[in-house]
Amino acid sequence: MANSVTDNSRRRFLKRSTLLASGSLLVGFQIPVQAANKPAAYQDSLTSLMADAFIRIDSDNTVTLLMNHAEFGNGVYTSMAMMVAEELDIDWQLLRWEAAPTEPRYYSPIFGEYLTAGSVSTAGAFIPMRTAGAKTQALLLQAASLFWQTPATSLTTRPGQVVHPDGRRVNYGDLLPVIRDHRLQAPETVTLKAAKDFKILGQSQKRLEGAEKVTGEAIFGIDVKRPNMIYGSVVRPPVYGSKVVRFNADQALSMPGVIKAKAIAAGVVVLARDYWTAQKAAKTIQVTWDDGGLGVLSTERFLDDYRALSNSPGMLAEDIGNALEVTAAAETVFESVYEMPYLAHATMEPMNCTAQVNADHCEIWVGTQYQSNDRTLVARLLGFKEEQVTIHRTLMGGTFGRRASKTADFITDAVEAAKGETVPVQIIWSREEDIRGGHYRPLFVHRMRGSLDDQGYPEAWHQTAVGQSIMQNTKHDPAYMVNGIDIYSVDGCLQNPFGVFPYGTSYQIPNHRVESHNPPKVGVHPHEWRAVGHTHTGIAYECFLDELAFHGKKDPLSLRQHLARDHDRMSAVLARLRIEANWDAPLSAGRGRGVAARIYSISPIAQAVEVSVSGDGTFTVDKVVCVVDCGFAVNPLGIEAQIQGGVMLGLNAVAYGAIDMVDGQVQQSNFHDYRPLRFHQMPEVEVHIIQSDAAPTGVGEQATTPIAPAVANALFNATGRRVRQFPLDRHGFTLKA
């Protein structure tokens, strides 16, 4: 079923959501939400439940799920459908789906917002969605019991039907009048299936929305077409953050199809009858900009400043034992500086949004991860109440965090462009606008110091991380800024994590000190990038750990096993990796192995990489063996796909990824100089999932975290040359084209 772009206004939604609406039944399920995020006295008029997702059954026996997590290639629609179908007893592949509206009842129980991020969707939905299915099934059995005047305990279900002991069957949809007439309610509590009884969950399943994507029926944001819609192209400043002083649009306005040009916060928008006309016209606009002094900034200047800062005391994130005293007394102290560049998201579907602004209502069609925040910011921009803003969420062709913008910039562009117009306006970012859009994974410098004990094991560890904060001065500041430290800056480095992250490194080093500097946020907008802090902390930590293994004459995998010996889950992952990767087998000359292991969003993951290196520094990544413990594997095929995608993104970044700024201007512009990985460069990826009955934990971002350091470590193993500044192609190693 194609996810059609329809009018899901609050009034229409509530009207069709009640049990009294003709021909359909909407069942909610209860889910714990932090008290501060609970809307006052917000109840379904008949079920009296705080509902965060719903199952709608129509009289024609179709079942529709209202999805409160965003689908952007993460497979969450599939896993949620599997959860409901397991307990409700329906053919999950015949389920229809709609994006749930922006209502507090649909907010994430983990974030307390309408947000899909952090690889927590499956974990957050596992019990609630199954509970929804079980409650719906119990309600249908209760209705069938009245329908047949037969005890409910004697009835069973088969996909889409209730079955009587004598063989009679009734479709779920045919029971709606019984539920309506008797005003039945779903039970408050139900018993969920034991894992041993699962028929759908735990089995590899193809994607729910996959067929629509193949046929072209799927609706992404860029596919939205509205009556009388016009298009806008934005002239953005060459120096990110500059403001329009004045502009001349005479030439643009003389072009056929051009409607007008006007200034918005992002620059100057040209409105036209079609996108290409708007694009061509935008190139003729002459703009005078005020760069506010940002035109002197450069990545080289940032690196120089950050290197200097890394040599000075920072904010103390962790101090176990006494690393300063131990390193001061050590005969030998090893020190390295790791530098990771800015990274763009470069989603395959460029950023886009369609908006229509009327006197008392705004409608938005967009692929977004963060629609509660988007609605709040749009309402504030327009001076509306939040219920006057409706967001229709579409599928997304990639995001990697970019579509979870705390500023909602790609949405407010379209809203500003549409303000004052009488028709919808669609803004599509060109690839150049996207690459130069100023929202990047922060540039980071990590200074690492360490010493070894008499047995060659790490005795002291002193790490200083320097980079711009993602969360500082945002609405997330109170939760993610602890004692002045952005916890994303040190995520994955701490043995005793603090703040909202219940996980840290699995390793135990007796003297462990981590410090942090968060210099001013100027020149770019630091933004979450897939796996967030681990994309720089993971490289610094895992590569320096390899350095200490080398100096202590320890096998890199054995050292990790020793340091993680008290962490049961990581110990099991590393032991399995040693076997599956055939770690102890020798390799021929010019080949090397590397390993890295991380914990992100609860899930331990480890990868062993094999590379082949030529004398000129060109190399191939031949094989990646990945072992992950993500708790119960809801959809093993989906997990495998997510790991393959995560490996691809992390490998792409470590091989090529870098955004450079000179005189305040981003130098990269498109895929010729911000290169994507090609199909033939993708290694074989072998995925092993630890069998577990524990609750599901994250997997979407996990595979991105170890691949970069594992590749760097493998290159050292093959050549004896250590890279500490990235990407690799700027420091002697080039992935073969």
Q: CB within 8 A of 261, min separation 6: which ones?
A: 247, 249, 252, 253, 268, 269, 270, 271, 281, 285
What DSSP assignment string belongs to 673-732? TSPPPPGGGPPEEEEEE----SPP---TTTTHHHHHHHHHHHHHHHHS----BS-GGGTT
| pLDDT reading at 269 higher than 90 | yes
Question: Is the alpha carbon torsion for 472, 474, 476, 478 positive or negative?
Answer: positive
Q: Distance (Å, rounded) from C-alpha 629 to C-alpha 702?
A: 10
| pLDDT reading at 582 higher than 50 | yes
Contact 581, 684 (CB under 8 A): no
Whole-number pLDDT of residue 23: 61
Give me 12's structure tokens.
């229409």
How much is the pTM?
Answer: 0.93
Whole-number pLDDT of residue 22: 41
Q: Distance (Å, rounded) from C-alpha 387 to C-alpha 715?
A: 55
Whole-number pLDDT of residue 461: 98
Whole-number pLDDT of residue 4: 32
Of residues 43 and 440, more confidence is placed in 440
Q: State mean pLDDT over 65-86.
A: 95
Task: Give the gyration radius of the chain's Cα atoms.
Answer: 27
Q: CB within 8 A of 391, min separation 6: which ones?
A: 101, 102, 364, 366, 368, 371, 374, 375
For the chain, residues classed under CATH 3.30.365.10 are: 10-214, 221-292+351-428, 299-342+439-735
| pLDDT reading at 41 higher than 90 | no
Whole-number pLDDT of residue 654: 98
In 3-state terms, what secondary structure has residue 275? helix
Give me 116's structure tokens.
């899909």
Contact 350, 429 (CB under 8 A): yes
Of 458, 678, 633, the C-alpha closest to 552 is 458
CATH class for the region spanning 10-214: alpha beta
| pLDDT reading at 45 higher than 70 | no
In 3-state terms, what secondary structure has residue 126? helix
Strands across the sheet with 169-171, in order? 156-158, 161-163, 169-171
Contact 542, 557 (CB under 8 A): no
Contact 625, 596 (CB under 8 A): no
Please give the backbone phi and psi of residue 540, each rounded to the nearest 5 degrees, phi first: -60, -45
Q: State mean pLDDT over 555-566.
A: 98
Of 114, 105, 136, the C-alpha closest to 26 is 136
Q: State mean pLDDT over 273-278.
A: 98
Average model confidence (pLDDT) across the chain: 92
Q: CB within 8 A of 404, min separation 6: which ones?
A: 115, 116, 117, 368, 369, 370, 528
Q: Percent of the chain scored above 70 by pLDDT?
A: 93
Of residues 128 and 228, more confidence is placed in 228
Whole-number pLDDT of residue 109: 84
| pLDDT reading at 729 higher than 70 | yes
Burial of residue 549 (number of CB atoms within 10 Å: 0-12, 13-18, 19+) = buried
Task: Report the C-alpha dihedral over residues 564, 568, 569, 573, rounded to 10 degrees.
Answer: 60
Query: Which of 31-45, 194-208, 301-315, 655-669 has the lowest average pLDDT?
Result: 31-45
Contact 117, 74 (CB under 8 A): no
Of 519, 457, 514, 508, the C-alpha closest to 490 is 514
Q: State mean pLDDT over 677-681.
A: 96
| pLDDT reading at 622 higher than 80 | yes
| pLDDT reading at 33 higher than 80 | no
Give me 620's structure tokens.
């191939």
CA 475, 479, 483: angle at the middle one, nearest 5?
110
Q: CB within 8 A of 422, min separation 6: which ones?
A: none
Whole-number pLDDT of residue 37: 31
Q: Distance (Å, rounded) from C-alpha 667 to C-alpha 662?
A: 7
Whole-number pLDDT of residue 287: 98
| pLDDT reading at 553 higher than 90 | yes
| pLDDT reading at 344 higher than 60 | yes
Of 141, 149, 143, 150, the C-alpha closest to 183 is 143
Whole-number pLDDT of residue 309: 98
Can you give 611-630 as a three-state secondary structure string? EEECCCCEEEEEEEEEEECC
| pLDDT reading at 19 higher than 90 | no
Q: State mean pLDDT over 564-588.
A: 98
| pLDDT reading at 586 higher than 50 | yes
| CATH no., domain 299-342+439-735 | 3.30.365.10
- Write out pLDDT tens, residues 594-604: 999 999 989 99
| pLDDT reading at 420 higher than 90 | yes
pLDDT class of 28 with cuts at 50, 70, 90: low
Terminal CA-CA length for the chain: 40
* Level-2 CATH architecture, domain 221-292+351-428: 2-Layer Sandwich (3.30)
- Write out pLDDT tens, residues 666-676: 999 999 999 99
In 3-state terms, what secondary structure has residue 654? helix
Please give the backbone phi and psi of residue 64, each rounded to the nearest 5 degrees, phi first: -120, 135
Q: Distance (Å, rounded) from C-alpha 110 to C-alpha 501?
A: 12
Question: Residue 18 CA to chain centroid, in angstroms?
Answer: 33
Burial letters for 297-315: b for 16+ Cβ neighbours within 10 Å, e otherwise?
A: bbbeebbeebeebbeeebb
Question: Is the alpha carbon torsion for 678, 679, 681, 682 positive or negative?
Answer: positive
Q: Check residue 727 and give left, alpha or beta (phi > 0: left; psi -120 to 50: alpha).
A: beta
Question: Is the alpha carbon torsion for 129, 131, 132, 138 positive or negative?
Answer: positive
| pLDDT reading at 31 higher than 70 | no
Q: Distance (Å, rounded) from C-alpha 57 to C-alpha 145?
A: 18
- Measured CA to CA in angstroms, residue 446 lies from 434, 452, 492, 517 at distances of 28, 20, 13, 10
Indicate the helix (H) or strand (E) that contains 58. Answer: strand 51-58
Instruction: Write the single-letter amino acid at 268.
Output: V
| pLDDT reading at 650 higher than 70 | yes
Instruction: Write the single-letter amino acid at 93.
Output: Q
